[in-house]
Amino acid sequence: ISAPMNKIRVGILAGCIAGLLFCSIFLKDLFAITGMTMECVMLFVVFAIATEPVLRYLTVLVERMRFYYLKLRGRNTEE
């Protein structure tokens, strides 16, 4: 999510959500959108919940690798 969340970004986010809902409700034949089974919805929820910690820990891992790489090379690690 963009920071800081100002009025322009809120408008863009709201427009994207409204456009997605409009297309999925009224233009489903154009985009071949079909109903989702219960298994599909449950998988989506599991992956949505699992995504946040995976990306968080990958970010921490990359930051630590960068820190130790710069320390090994003798460069400034304060950024």
Taking only the tens place, the pLDDT of each residue in 22-54 is 988 888 888 777 878 999 989 999 999 999 999
Q: What is the pLDDT of residue 2?
A: 67
Taking only the tens place, the pLDDT of each residue in 46-75 is 999 999 999 999 999 999 999 999 989 887
In 1-74, which ranges are continuous DSSP H helix?
7-26, 28-31, 38-73
CA gap 41, 26 in Å, rounded:
21
Enclosing domain of residue 2 = 1-33
74 and 49 within one domain: yes
Number of domains into which the chain is organized: 2
Decide if 70 contacts 76 (C-beta within 8 A): yes
The answer, as to whether pTM is greater than 0.75, is no
pLDDT band at residue 77, thresholds of 50, 70 and 90? low
23 and 57 within one domain: no
75 and 44 within one domain: yes
- Output the CA torsion sign for 34, 35, 40, 41: positive
15 and 44 within one domain: no
41 and 29 within one domain: no
